[in-house]
Amino acid sequence: MSDEEHLIAERVVVLDPAGARKVRISQHPAEDFWRVDVEGASSTTVAAGDSFMMNLIESAVSGEQVAWRHLAHWASRPAGRQFR
């Protein structure tokens, strides 16, 4: 999270096999984006027009536990294919 971003909400989310992770939702008003940061996993930025992620963010901020879990799972998933 940069200095210009504002923390909107934060919650510890229990992910069954992975244990608990802190999820933070922040907003950068000047650049018009939101960030979902999953502690120990990853961070993803969301444009204000991204209806799927913005619906999850708005639901999480309003207190819906299911939305927090979905954000934690979605934001911490690996990006792209992984080859071993």
User: DSSP string of 16-79?
Assistant: TTTEEEEEEEEEETTTTEEEEEETTTEEEEEETT-HHHHHHHHHHHTT-HHHHHHHHHHHHSPS
Instruction: Give 24-79 pLDDT, tens digit per residue.
Output: 999 998 888 999 998 877 788 888 787 788 999 999 999 999 999 988 887 666 55
pTM: 0.80
